[in-house]
Amino acid sequence: MTDYIAGGRKIADVPRTTAATGTPAVTRVIVRRTGPPAAWWGVVMLIASEGVLFAAFIGTFFYLRFNDPAWPPPHDPSPTVVLPLVMVAILSTSSGLMQLAWRAVRQGRLAATRLLLVVAVIVQSGYFAYEVHDFSDQLHTLPIGRDAYTSSHYVLLGADHAHVLIGIVFNLWLLWKLARGITTYRANAVQAITWYWHFVTLLTWAVTATVVSAALR
């Protein structure tokens, strides 16, 4: 029975995954698995769906731009260029930290995983706090309802910041889970959320580039 071959593989070689707890068991499972788990596929679906949503937002921005001879309209100020790009560069480092956290959890290094996640959350929260502050500052001088340019400008930024916030909540949840050690379920979650953060980083670059492009009058 133990050497029965099903679906091209000996049953004895097939890991029982989500039930595995304890660091050695988890590392063994991840080594024996040949493809990504359902959790990874799930987050890829989320990324696909969100990617189309932002493609629609960014597409709208340029659609309106190319319909309008003066963009942004002359009475609107140009967006700042350097600081937003610097901020995205800072946020991008957290993507690397997440990748390292995923590597650490694969190797069963719990303390390193937690530490990397904490540092990532600090970077991400710092970015988020600055952006929210900047967003409300901009709203004071340039109301969202002035014209189509301001509308798409704020919707793009607002939607992007919301995704950063969701990512921070994900990471806090991860830290809460990892307080009780490593399981395959949690390792899968670290992988999935790492991918989510890579997506958010790319998204933030795309959104920032779009918003900043309005400086080219």
Q: Give the separation between CA 112 and CA 118, rounded to whole angstroms.
A: 10
Q: Give the separation between CA 183 and CA 26, rounded to whole angstroms.
A: 6
Q: Does 31 bind another protein (CB under 8 A)?
A: no
Read off the tokens for 68.
């309008």
Q: Give the separation between CA 104 and CA 52, rounded to whole angstroms.
A: 32
Nearer to another protein, 58 or 98 (CB): 58
Q: Does 162 bind another protein (CB under 8 A)?
A: no
Q: Does 18 bind another protein (CB under 8 A)?
A: yes
Shortest separation between residue 21's beta carbon and another protein, angstroms: 6
Using an 8 Å Cβ cutoff, are 211 and 156 in contact? Answer: yes
Using an 8 Å Cβ cutoff, are 98 and 197 in contact? Answer: yes
Interface positions, 63-122, toward another protein (CB under 8 A)? 63-64, 67-68, 73
CB atoms within 10 A of CB 108: 18
Q: Does 42 bind another protein (CB under 8 A)?
A: yes
Nearer to another protein, 50 or 134 (CB): 50
Read off the tokens for 131.
């952006």
Contacts with another protein by CB under 8 A: the residue count is 56
User: Contact positions toward another protein, by CB under 8 A?
Assistant: 1, 4, 6-9, 11, 14-21, 29, 33-35, 37-38, 41-42, 45-46, 48-50, 52-53, 55-57, 60, 63-64, 67-68, 73, 144-152, 154-155, 169, 173, 177, 183, 185-186
